[in-house]
Amino acid sequence: MPLPPLLYRYRNTGKFTEAIITKREVFFASPASFNDPFDCGFHIPCHGEFIKYIIRKVALKSVLNLHPKVSDKEANEAAEVVTKKILSDHHDEASNQFKMMLCREFNDKAGVLCLAATNSDILMWSHYADCHKGICLEFRTDIKDSIFNKAEPFIYSDQYPHLDLDELAEFEQLQNWATWMLTKSSHWSYEKEWRILDFDSGPGLKSFDSSCLSTVILGCCISDEDRRKVLGWVRDYPRPLCLMQARKSSTNFSIEFTKIDAKL
């Protein structure tokens, strides 16, 4: 799927939104903070001899990390003892714990910025822009070397992604295993979501060039006080921004946009 020329971020008018406009910083969140408990979930098949192989592989890695000077023979013998103990006493629990460990290991490493390919979805305005009292920010994706041209499209499905446990056990090249972070229940397909994943620096604030932000849209229910506040942010932006006002359609369940002057 080709990258759209514009992507959108629905926001309230609080201090973190102010920082996006006045400081040119966006916050990459941890998946643990998402409002959907199924988001970034995945399924790892663990059956029979395969789980034994994986547990032994992880046990050997742990032995070598704890005792780097032991011989290969001693390390393998210790790993075998640990593996047999786990399989005989805690097989089911170990399998479940290993899945949980992988979830924490992978999801905790990532910073995620969620964007949408639409600026006019009334549910998105309700859920993420303070019930239409907030704003929607429009970002260009064609600015060279910007974070926004790294956005990836979403897959909407009724099933968790299935991951290869053997590959994941290596804890390497996390960005090559991002499928589960770009898959969500089909119930959310109206969001038309795109995501930017950062496995290098993880969650936190990331700066962007001022040319990336192109338009600010005021919600149809924004208060006069918040309107004045946002207009001040727009006027102080280092380059001209397009400013739009959302309004309820008089004929159907939709919103319409009118260009306005930030000086008003």
119-165 tens-digit pLDDT: 999 999 999 999 999 999 999 999 989 999 999 998 888 887 766 65
| Per-residue model confidence (pLDDT) at position 60 | 84
86-104 tens-digit pLDDT: 767 665 666 566 666 666 6
Task: Provide the whole-model pTM.
Answer: 0.77
Structure confidence at residue 13 as a pLDDT band (50, 70, 90): very high
| Strand locations in the chain (E) | 6-11, 25-28, 111-116, 135-140, 152-153, 155-157, 183-185, 193-198, 204-207, 213-218, 242-248, 255-259
In whole angstroms, what is the distance from residue 219 CA to residue 245 CA?
7
64: three-class secondary structure by DSSP? helix
Query: H or E stretch including 86?
Result: helix 72-89
The region of weakest confidence among 17-31, 58-72, 118-132 is: 58-72
